[in-house]
Amino acid sequence: MTSVNVLISEVGPRDGLQSVKATMPTADKLAWIDGLYNSGLREIEVCSFVPAKMLPQMADAAEVVRHALTLPGLTVMALVPNLRGAEAALAAGAHKLTIPVSASEAHSLANVRKTRSDMVKEVQSIIALRNEQAPRVKVEVGVSTAFGCTIQGTVTDEDVVWIAAELVNAGANEVGLSDTTGMANPSQVRRLFNKVRAAIGEKTGAAHMHNTRGLGLANCLAARDVGVTTFDSSQGGLGGCPYAPGASGNVVTEDLVFMFEAMGIKTGIDLKKLMAARSFLQAGLPQEPLYGMTPEVGFPKGWTQER
């Protein structure tokens, strides 16, 4: 396989599944993850460690991690909102922890019932635990509502740069930017990633974009223009945030891979196998609508993917 130019980080099994009402059976979940892996995806956020009473969709998180660990070369990611979740994720053996920390004070209080400063302290506690128990595990923080908040409204660039710097000082390996509410535009994406990179350098992490207003792919391309090489996306466009009203729809993995591959930007993902993996998702959530322009219309005549 040719070298990879961008890393596609699949978040459907976590962000997607926790955003729908139905609970996917564990066996279907594992089959779907296998299908994603077989397409060439090598980083998958497989679950979140939260109380089952809050998110019954994630009640099997430890079992899902254990299965994902059997897939060679896969970076197994788990979202953890707090120290208790981090303890469970480390016990299960996750390779990488992702922690959401909001740039919007209002969203932070609604989402985790903590201020932004409280969340920085929580990240410090998680880093200390990681250093003690599993120093090789990476910790990435996703700055949610980085481009605007449905509760608060405008989120200033200064607030985003401040929280990113605070999180790096707390010990995070990477800090990415998330368009939780689907409010970003390409100009804003370039500007904000440039400002964050100026503040924290190579610890600038992934772009997590939503397609709420149809700008998801454009915003991913804008992020790549300014040096971002890791992109979160979700098969079938599943996902959203229950604490950001009206914000739905992650970037569709199939469309993102098609865009990059059509441009000659290598993802390491076999697009036909990725499309085939949708069948596992549909089997596990038969009533859930799936999205994606590429899956709907197919490949252009004569289009081939160089491997």
List, for residues 106-155, the tens digit of each pLDDT value.
999 988 889 999 999 999 999 999 999 999 999 999 999 999 999 999 99
307: confidence class by pLDDT, cuts 50, 70, 90: low
The model's pLDDT over 37-62, given as tens digits with 9 standing for 90+, comes to 999 999 999 999 999 999 999 999 99
Distance CA 49, CA 47 (A): 7
Tell me the pTM: 0.95
Please compute the mean of the pLDDT values over residues 226-253 and round it to a whole number. 80
86 pLDDT above the threshold of 80: yes
Considering the candidates 47, 149, 220, 241, report the single residue annotated as catalytic. 241
User: Which residue, among 160, 172, 77, has the nearest Cα to 122 in the 3D structure?
Assistant: 172
State the chain's mean pLDDT as an integer: 94
φ and ψ at 177, to 5 degrees? -120, 130
Q: Does position 1 have pLDDT exceeding 80, yes or no?
A: no
* pLDDT attached to residue 248: 59
Report the candidate in 14, 19, 9 with the shortest Cα–Cα distance to residue 288: 19
Q: How confident is the model at residue 306 (pLDDT cuts 50, 70, 90)?
A: confident
Left if phi > 0, otherwise alpha if psi is -120 to 50, otherwise beta: which for 218?
A: alpha
pLDDT digits (tens, 9 = 90+) for 241-278: 544 444 458 999 999 999 999 999 999 999 999 999 99
Q: Put residue 113 in one of left, alpha, beta given phi > 0 → left and psi -120 to 50 → alpha.
A: left
Are 259 and 271 a contacting pair, CB within 8 Å? no
Q: Who wins on pLDDT, 268 or 181?
A: 268
Task: Quickly state the pLDDT bin for 304 (edges 50, 70, 90).
Answer: confident
**Known catalytic residue at 149:** no
Question: What pLDDT does residue 28 have?
Answer: 98
Tell me the percentage of the chain whose pLDDT exceeds 70: 96
- Is the CB of residue 176 less than 8 Å from the CB of residue 144? no
The CATH label, of 3.20.20.70, 3.30.70.20, 3.40.50.11740, 3.40.50.1950, for the domain at 7-297 is 3.20.20.70
Please, which pLDDT band fits residue 19 given cuts at 50, 70 and 90?
A: confident
